Structure 1
């Protein structure tokens, strides 16, 4: 089994503006700060005919339930890699180096009437007997919270 996360984020801006924002390393660094990262490295660059975004961040494990904390320790290192074939379609993978589990999916941008919707669909799989499903749900909640923080920073970025 796996847990599926679907999250829609809206921006009152044209698709091209949202796409440019998502490829801006300074924007991605502000998002890491808003998500509570204690350390971060962001790189954005060409990848074949598209673009590649890599966000390597470390967050404290405060607030993580005990059953999950023993697997992650005091800090959680997340490495998010996005590969964008074009401004509308990306593939995302998130790994926690050295820990069991896989997270991956798609990111799509669609514009209607000057509003752009970013849709993130990810499958989360943690292969740990007995607690894997609980950890998957916890990760889905953490990713949803992280995406909402990105959306808030993005709305402010696009408005300013």
Structure 2
């Protein structure tokens, strides 16, 4: 089983400004601070319009169903990676070391009328017998919350 997450983040800024923000380590640091992570590390490399963004964070696990907490534990390490092929399209993965499952998909930017939409399209798969589907739903909800937080930070970042 897999769950799909399709989420759009709209910014009142041109595509180039949003692409630059997504490649700025300071922006990624701000997102981690806003998410109240226990610890984090941001790594970034660029080659022309291509970029590789990697954010590893340790988060306390709170406010999730008891069945999920038993599998996840009190803290969880999350490795989020965006490999941008150019300013418009990239691959998006989220990994959780030593936990079953994977999250893979794409990320893209599209500008229209001075506004830019970041589209994230992910497939979430958790291979745990009996509760895998429920865990996929929990993970999807957590990812949506993380994307909403990223958007809030991004709006403030672009307004400065």
TM bin (shorter chain):
over 0.9
- Whether contact under 8 Å (1:44, 1:53) holds in the other structure is yes
Which residue does 2:9 correspond to in 1? 9
Q: Distance in 2 between the 1:49 and 1:146 partners?
A: 26
Aligned-pair distance for 1:38?
A: 1.1
- Whether contact under 8 Å (1:47, 1:83) holds in the other structure is no
Which consecutive residues of structure 1, in runs of 5 or more, have no partner in the other structure?
none
SS of the equivalent of 1:98 reads: coil
Post-superposition Cα deviations, 1:111-131, rounded to whole Å, max 9, x if no partner, equal 000000000000000011110
RMSD: 1.2
Aligned-pair distance for 1:75?
A: 0.3
Aligned-pair distance for 1:71?
A: 1.0
What are the equivalent positions in structure 2 for 1:96-107 lying under 5 Å apart? 96-107=96-107
TM-score normalised to the size of structure 1?
0.97
Which 4+ runs in 1 deviate beyond 6 A? Answer: none
Matched positions, count: 160
Q: Distance in 2 between the 1:49 and 1:15 partners?
A: 13
Which consecutive residues of structure 2, in runs of 5 or more, have no partner in the other structure?
none
Q: Distance in 1 between the 2:42 and 2:36 partners?
A: 15
Q: 1:20–1:48: structure 2 CA closer, same or farther, 3 Å change rule?
A: closer
Q: 1:94–1:48: structure 2 CA closer, same or farther, 3 Å change rule?
A: farther
